[in-house]
Amino acid sequence: MVAETAAEWDVDMEDKQKYACPEQQRVGCGLAGIYTALSIGGVLPIMHSGPGCIHAISSVLSVANGGQNPVPYMESVVPSSNLSEAEVVFGASDKLRSVLEHSLRYYKAEIFLLVTGCSAEIIGEDVYEIAEQYTTPEKTVLHVPLPGFKGNNVWGHHQVLSALIDGYVEEYGEREVVPKRVNVWGVVPHYDPMWVGTLEKLEALLRRIGLEPNIIYSPWGGIDALKKIPTAEYNLLLSPWTDLDIVKKLERKFDTPYIHFPYMPIGPTAEAELIRKLTETFGLDEAFTESVIKERTDRYFYYFDRNLVWLFDMHNQRSLPREFFTNASASASLSITKYFVSDLGLSPRKIFLPEDVPKKHRKTVKKLFLETAGEYLTEEDIIFTDDGGLFEQYLKDVDQMVRKSAVIGSIWDDITAKKANMPFVSVCAPYGDVLVCDKQYFGTDGALTLMADLYNDAEKKGLVSAVV
């Protein structure tokens, strides 16, 4: 039984947003785009910024996001000009040149990105000139402006990819298209806490159905994968909006068409849809790909069936969460909404997207949520904000009945959910200062892990009980 009516949930969001003052940060600033660079073997960012910028970004994107640091260049060895007051007044290009010269000699990298933070951008250094001057046939130096006052880490990620495409791939990229080769886009390394595990599973699936995935991030990619970008038959975008600009850019530059499958698939329905979409686009052997779908779906339901007593008998259905909120990135929110709505039978109540989705993409994102869960959501239920604390405030006005709704978010929401005694799963940055290792919620296998994480949290909070 669900006690709340739709009208009771209709808290006035305008009122809550009266003061535009973000709290509970779930993003890094533009400079955190360096994590994308640090995830591509052979690329080294050099920071032209304040001394502490590396730590400000590493907390949300690295240690507090599943305990993951970049490999091999951990934050502690990322070169930085460490701008202080004197350089801000008297100029800092000599310092930057010196740091760059030594970096070129000390690090086994081929592409060096001079990234500028707020202070360097305000004082207006001509870093493009320095980049050009130090570029040789063996080593490419690029300038990427990433000031925090221009955007967050997702913006920074796009800036870094864009600079690599314009400044490196265009010049050094191979051009002959290889059939069945597909570039994978949509995952923001280090921002998605499960990015490595997810890409690992995706890579295996794509290979299984006969494609040749090209993933530029470690542990697969690197400079060679960058060079292969123009040779793909298609660019595969697996997110509602991140990297959409990148695949459009690649279409313009290299005539590579893109496939926009708007979420990383979780669960049998989404996974089968992706496999069928790829089968059709690439002209794969349908009989074979259908057999792959069957095999994976059968496995999912075998494991699911093994939980039936726990799910529907010992713990009766009345007390498991049947509705959910997300307060997470658009990518994680949409993937999980798709699984919950299509396979697990949970309905979304409200979708909070506290990652400051750019205005130009909001219409698309809204449309995708309505396509996925339009039976349960209206346009007003999808909330774009940069205020991570908005959800916590909203929740204060919602009556909590016997059956608790699930909360899908980050460690910030874990605290909120604990206080409200609601089942919770962490899916996005900052994931928490616990180890994520190779965990992922990809496809049919990952869906089982997600289901277990959600229901186990309900159990541990004492919510799942036949006697409630």
- DSSP letter at 431 equals -
Interface residue with other proteins, options 43, 83, 215, 264 (CB under 8 A): 83
DSSP, collapsed to helix, strand or coil, labels residue 118 as helix
Nearer to other proteins, 264 or 422 (CB): 422
Interface residue with other proteins, options 37, 68, 75, 272 (CB under 8 A): 75
Q: Which amino acid is at 379?
A: E
Distance, CA of 307 to CA of 25 (rounded, Å): 37
**Spatial CA neighbour of 464 closest among 305, 322, 306:** 322
**H/E segment holding residue 309:** helix 308-309
Q: How far from the centroid of its chain's Cα atoms is residue 44's Cα?
A: 21
Nearer to other proteins, 34 or 454 (CB): 34
The answer to the question of residue 69 lying near other proteins (CB under 8 A) is yes
The answer to the question of residue 125 lying near other proteins (CB under 8 A) is no
Total number of residues that touch other proteins (CB under 8 A): 79
Residues 132-161 that bind other proteins (CB under 8 A): 147-150, 152-153
Q: Is the dihedral of CA 263, 267, 273, 277 positive or negative?
A: positive
Cα 116 to Cα 106, 127, 139, distances in angstroms? 21, 8, 19
Q: Tell me how far, at minimum, the Cβ of 438 lies from other proteins, in Å.
A: 18
Say if residue 45 is preceded by a cis peptide, omega within 30 of 0: no
Q: Tell me how far, at minimum, the Cβ of 401 lies from other proteins, in Å.
A: 21
Nearer to other proteins, 98 or 400 (CB): 98
Q: Tell me how far, at minimum, the Cβ of 356 lies from other proteins, in Å.
A: 8
Q: Tell me how far, at minimum, the Cβ of 181 lies from other proteins, in Å.
A: 28
DSSP, collapsed to helix, strand or coil, labels residue 189 as strand
Nearer to other proteins, 262 or 430 (CB): 430
Residues 397-436 that bind other proteins (CB under 8 A): 411-412, 414-416, 418-419, 430, 432-434
Distance, CA of 377 to CA of 30 (rounded, Å): 32
Distance, CA of 420 to CA of 405 (rounded, Å): 10
Interface residue with other proteins, options 115, 118, 223, 377 (CB under 8 A): 118
- DSSP letter at 399 equals P
Residues 85-104 that bind other proteins (CB under 8 A): 85, 88, 98-99, 102-103
Nearer to other proteins, 291 or 400 (CB): 400
Residues 253-282 that bind other proteins (CB under 8 A): none
Nearer to other proteins, 151 or 265 (CB): 151
Q: Tell me how far, at minimum, the Cβ of 175 lies from other proteins, in Å.
A: 30
Q: How far from the centroid of its chain's Cα atoms is residue 305's Cα?
A: 31
Q: Tell me how far, at minimum, the Cβ of 337 lies from other proteins, in Å.
A: 24
Binding mask 15-54 for other proteins (x = CB under 8 A): ---xxxxxxxx-xxxxxx--------------x-xxxxxx
The answer to the question of residue 242 lying near other proteins (CB under 8 A) is no
Say if residue 72 is preceded by a cis peptide, omega within 30 of 0: yes
Distance, CA of 17 to CA of 27 (rounded, Å): 19
The answer to the question of residue 72 lying near other proteins (CB under 8 A) is yes
Partners of 9 in the β-ladder: none
Name the one range near other proteins by CB under 8 A: 115-123, 301-309, 345-353, 453-461: 115-123
Q: Which amino acid is at 275?
A: I
Q: Which amino acid is at 220?
A: W
Distance, CA of 363 to CA of 317 (rounded, Å): 36
CB atoms < 10 A from the CB of 273, how many? 16
The answer to the question of residue 348 lying near other proteins (CB under 8 A) is no
Q: Tell me how far, at minimum, the Cβ of 177 lies from other proteins, in Å.
A: 33
Nearer to other proteins, 99 or 357 (CB): 99
Binding mask 327-346 for other proteins (x = CB under 8 A): --------------------
